Amino acid sequence: METKIFKIASIFENPDELQQAADILARGGLVAFPTETVYGLGANGLNEDAVHAIYQAKGRPSDNPLILHICDTEMLPQLAREIPEVAVRLALEFWPGPLTMVLPKTSRVPDAVSGGLDTVAIRFPSNLIARELIRRSGKPIAAPSANLSGSPSPTTAQHCIDDLMGRVDAIVDGGSCGVGLESTVISLVRQIPTVLRPGGVTVEQLREVLGEVRVDPAVTHPMAEGQKAASPGMKYKHYAPKAKVVLIDGQQEAFVRYVNERKENGVFALCFSEDVPALKVPVVCYGGKEHPEEQAHALFDALRRLDELGAALVFAHCPAKDGVGLAVYNRLLRAAAFDVVKI
């Protein structure tokens, strides 16, 4: 199909193009658009045919749930049949922002959105372009990341163009995404609130608001055979470049020695800025060791850069496993298909 490109730096720029994008969504089309986390591939979340088109455009497994994006909390009751007190507390603290809540769904939410589950994941993004698109379309927007399934998520419009040109109706170029990783997903349908996917809102921040918060084992370990994913980003290999990625869990000196001993054509390091001077293989840096927010912002672009450079085997230096670092670690685990070497 023909894919239109709308360059919209703010909601006050090119209002006609913003309305065109919203009209495409309203009539059941597909639009890639910016959020503060990553670019999303949006469709009318109440139109089952439109939602199925997302899966087709991405090559996404149909049992992998989607997130519904809203532009104000008044949209929540039409999507969630129960809104517990803990959800209200989280909304007051973190919405709009990079937090998704899993709640019992209403009958209005198509099974295609929820992956056949009785729950729905809902987010109120802080990005003003995203919110204005939702408002103008008049519908909650179902949107996974705007990339081909399994590849690194897009943080610029060019990433969307590289993956989806000719597969979607329009791409809204709203600049680079601020956070760089997908939203935190927390389930509020279990007895204890449970993080299903870490992101920019950290487990530590959630515990400050709610007290006890669990982290699902699937955040750091493969899901059990036959287990059903309750959130995007849980079940399948994700975020992966074409190269094979191996995650190296160790201190700087050990990481550098391990990689340098394996120097050959096609071997690259995905590393911290502090590692670079001592490495004898081509490198792509994804931030400073003590700066997880910087790592989060740079990670997906770095993974795509490895493909551009022709990497065949990538040794990635493992980040910290707390705060925002847990989200970076989670994405790298899946990019590496859980191939981890501890040294």
pLDDT at 226 over 80: no
Q: What is the pLDDT of residues 251-304, one digit of tens each?
A: 999 999 999 999 999 999 999 999 999 999 999 999 999 999 999 999 999 999
Q: Which pLDDT does position 258 carry in this prediction?
A: 98
Region of 337 on the Ramachandran plot (φ > 0 left; ψ -120 to 50 alpha; else beta): left
User: Using CA atoms, how far apart are residues 35 and 160, in angstroms rounded to an integer?
Assistant: 13
Q: Could you count the other beta carbons within 10 Å of the beta carbon of residue 52?
A: 14
Domains 4-219 and 244-342 share a fold: no
Give residues with Cβ within 8 angstroms of 133, minimum separation 6: 18, 21, 22, 25, 31, 33, 42, 141, 172
Question: Is the pLDDT reported for residue 169 higher than 70?
Answer: yes
- Is residue 136 within 8 A of residue 76, CB to CB? The reply is no
Summarize the confidence of residues 52-69 as an average pLDDT: 90
Distance between CA atoms of residues 279 and 271, nearest Å: 9
How far apart (Å, rounded) are the C-alpha atoms in residues 253 and 41? 41
Q: pLDDT of 93-102, one tens digit each?
A: 999 999 999 9
Kindly report the average pLDDT of the chain as a whole number.
Answer: 95
In tens, the pLDDT along 102-129 reads: 999 999 999 999 999 999 999 999 999 9
Beta-strand relationship, 119-123 and 99-104? antiparallel
Does the pLDDT value for residue 231 go beyond 80?
A: no
Which residues pair with residue 99 across a beta bridge?
Answer: 184
Count CB neighbours of 225 within 10 A. Answer: 5
Q: Is the pLDDT of residue 81 over 90?
A: yes
Q: pLDDT above 90 covers what percent of the chain?
A: 89
Instruction: Identify which of 303, 299, 300, 267 has the alpha carbon closest to the alpha carbon of residue 286.
Output: 299
Q: What is the pLDDT of residue 1?
A: 87
pLDDT at 78 over 60: yes
pTM of the model: 0.95
Q: Is the domain covering 4-219 a CATH 3.90.870.10 domain?
A: yes
Q: Quick one: pLDDT band at residue 239, thresholds 50, 70, 90?
A: confident
Asked whether the beta carbons of 275 and 256 are under 8 A apart, the reply is: yes
Q: Span 196-213, mean pLDDT?
A: 98
* 206 has pLDDT over 80: yes
235: confidence class by pLDDT, cuts 50, 70, 90: low
Radius of gyration of the chain (CA): 20
* Position 236 confidence tier, pLDDT thresholds 50, 70, 90: low
**Averaged pLDDT for residues 141-168:** 95
Could you say which of 1.10.10.10, 3.40.50.11030, 3.30.390.10, 3.40.1050.10 is the CATH number of the domain covering 244-342? Answer: 3.40.50.11030
Residue 343, pLDDT above cutoff 70? yes
Q: What is the mean pLDDT of residues 17-36?
A: 97
Over 90: is that where the pLDDT of 150 sits? no
Sign of the dihedral defined by the CA atoms of residues 243, 251, 181, 190, in that order: positive
DSSP reduced 3-state for 220: coil
Upper half-sphere CA count for residue 309 (Cβ side, 13 Å): 20
Give ∠ CA 284-289-295 in degrees, rounded to 5.
Answer: 60
Lowest mean pLDDT among 35-49, 62-76, 176-190, 282-296: 62-76
Q: Would you kindly state where each structural domain of the chain is located, as residue ranges?
A: 4-219, 244-342
